Amino acid sequence: MKMSIVIPCYNEEENIPIILDKFDNILTNEDIEIILVNNGSTDNSDEVLKRLLPKYLFARTVLVPINKGYGYGIFQGLKEAKGDFLGWMHADMQTDPQDVIRAYKILEKNNWNKNIYVKGKRKKRSFVENFFTIGMSIFETIYLREFLWDINGQPNVFSRKFYNTWIEPPKDFSFDLYVLYMAKKQRLDFKRIDVLFPSRINGVSSWNTGLLSKWKLIKKIIKFSIELKKKGIR
């Protein structure tokens, strides 16, 4: 297995069929597996997964009975992954499955170099979304002294060798920052790809409900940044 892509799903019953159908239309080999993590969903996601997965041989699921956070869900999926290269993307269909194929082709072109990290760079977003992204990017870059731009850009794809260096990654939305910071500290070769990040097709965000929710998230990430700097990861 060359690549495993983890998709954390929290109450995504409407998007799961779309995700599976889109990957079914674009996957042309058996080198990629898709792991949909039922991350403590309280809707009908479990039922939808059980009904649909037998039809899609490239996909399987990992169950997290109780939601302990976005990062925790991704990490549980990665622990079950079989690929030489690993990664994740969102389940809200703001990330196009085709971007995963683009990442695969970049790695293939570079002879599966384990020092490469492929990460999306989001384009054509709203002024408000860009304002928060740029603000956090500038703060984290100055504070942690590494170039940390578009921290939450999707998808993320990297080698198992890099994954094996992680030490107790955070369980919440600080997960993206932790992984990006670790990759920067290890001087991985970043290949950024421009990706569109449209509005959700179905459902609602579990956290992004307005300016107040963004501010709460920012405070949590800043708190984690302080802890990360104290640890002095090299």
Average pLDDT over the chain, rounded to an integer:
92
pTM of the model: 0.91
Q: What is the pLDDT of residue 200?
A: 61
Instruction: Give yes or no for residue 12 having a pLDDT over 70.
Output: yes
Structure-model confidence comparison of residues 146 and 211, the more confident one:
146
Length of the chain: 234
Region 198-224 average pLDDT: 75
Residue 153: which of 180, 183, 114, 188 has the closest Cα?
Answer: 180
Domain edges within the chain = 3-231
Beta strands in 107-150 (DSSP E): 116-123
Residues 106 and 191 sit within 8 Å (Cβ to Cβ): yes
**Structural domain 3-231, CATH architecture:** Alpha-Beta Complex (3.90)
Residue 116 has what DSSP assignment?
A: E
Higher per-residue confidence, 230 vs 193: 193
Q: CA dist 233 to 149, 168, 175, Å?
A: 19, 12, 15
Burial class (CB in 10 A: 0-12, 13-18, 19+), 178: buried
Q: Which band of pLDDT confidence, cut at 50, 70 and 90, is reported for residue 208? A: low
User: What is the rounded average pLDDT of the residues 41-50?
Assistant: 97
- How confident is the model over 60-116, as pLDDT tens digits? 999 999 999 999 999 999 999 999 999 999 998 888 999 999 999 999 999 999 999
Q: At what angle do helices 127-144 and 211-231 cross, to 10 degrees?
A: 20
DSSP 53: G
